[in-house]
Amino acid sequence: MPATRLILFPLWLLAGLFALAACAGGSEGELRLESGVIPMPPAGAPMAAGYFTLHNETGSDWALESARVDGFKLTEVHRTRLENGMLRMRRAESVRIEAGEQLRFEPGGLHLMLMTPTQPLKAGELRLARLALRNAQGETRELELPLAVRPREAMAAPDEMHHH
């Protein structure tokens, strides 16, 4: 009987360590992206916009520090605001998402500004977006999300269109 206990003890210990690791990792939660889309810009336009939702299911606040999208030389995070009665877009150096919150990138608000295309967009294709995030503890994460290129007419009513 003691030999059986000697064999089982390391197995129980190993199972306990895996359970502990799972609990530690699970309590942190995850950063998650969904609903990625690029509305098809007018023919020949030097820019496009990317939209998605970022979910912060972690126990920490995070900051979106940069983004890249395949097929564009430059990607910036922009915020649309009403200033002196006019809608203005400004580059956002860093965008904070608090623990347990979600952040929507949508027409008229936050969006990815996709500039200088290296290849033309085609309706129905996917372009990969990569987002770099950092929390207050200095931990970094890179998230990836395919952005579906959609005909502009399928995206929103005319007064919700995104123009630059």
Q: Is residue 129 in a domain?
A: yes
As a dihedral over the C-alpha atoms of residue 117, residue 120, residue 122, residue 126, rounded to 10 degrees, the angle is -40
User: Is 62 a residue whose pLDDT tops 70?
Assistant: yes
Q: Is residue 36 in a domain?
A: yes
Number of domains in the chain: 1
Residue 102, number of CB atoms within 10 A of its CB: 13
Q: Is residue 75 in a domain?
A: yes
> What is the pLDDT at residue 164?
39
> What is the pLDDT at residue 8?
43
**Global confidence as pTM:** 0.75
Q: Is residue 24 in a domain?
A: no
What is the average pLDDT score of the chain? 83
> What is the pLDDT at residue 16?
41
Domain housing 86: 30-153
CATH number at 82 reads 2.60.40.1890
Q: Is residue 91 in a domain?
A: yes
Query: What's the average model confidence in pLDDT over 8-13?
Result: 42
DSSP summary character for residue 124: T
Q: Is residue 37 in a domain?
A: yes
